[in-house]
């Protein structure tokens, strides 16, 4: 077997889909569930004051990081 064929056999595709779609295709060979997204739990955290505080700090840190990266000037070597 060629190395390219081995490489493609090891590759996999990850996608997001509704539970109903997964239930229809789960019998197919190679289909595996990696994780489940729970919208109710996300709403629980969005309503939590402590979560909101830390999420705001996270957004601020991302913004500050982006600003620092935008201010980096590169010199081209000749």
**In whole angstroms, what is the distance from residue 66 CA to residue 58 CA?**
12
Q: Find out whether 35 and 42 touch, Cβ atoms under 8 Å.
A: no
- Comparing 9 with 54, the larger pLDDT belongs to 54
pLDDT, tens digit, 9 for 90 and up, residues 4-51: 777 766 667 777 788 888 888 888 877 888 777 766 777 777 788 888
Q: How far apart are the C-alpha atoms of 11 and 47, rounded to whole Å?
A: 39
Domain range for residue 38? 3-70
pLDDT mean over 61-67: 93
The answer to the question of residue 78 being in a domain is no
Residue 77, in any domain of the structure: no
**Distance between CA atoms of residues 17 and 66, nearest Å:** 31
Number of domains in the chain: 1
- Examine residue 47 and state whether it is found in any structural domain, yes or no: yes
**pTM, to two decimals:** 0.41
**Within a domain: residue 76?**
no
């Amino acid at each position: 077997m060629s190395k390219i064929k081995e490489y493609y056999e090891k590759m996999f595709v990850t996608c997001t889909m509704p539970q109903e779609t997964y239930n229809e295709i789960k019998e197919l060979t190679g289909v595996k569930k990696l994780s489940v997204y729970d919208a109710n739990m996300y709403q629980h955290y969005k309503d939590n004051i402590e979560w909101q505080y830390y999420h705001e700090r996270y957004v601020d840190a991302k913004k500050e990081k982006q600003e620092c990266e935008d201010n980096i000037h590169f010199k081209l070597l000749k």
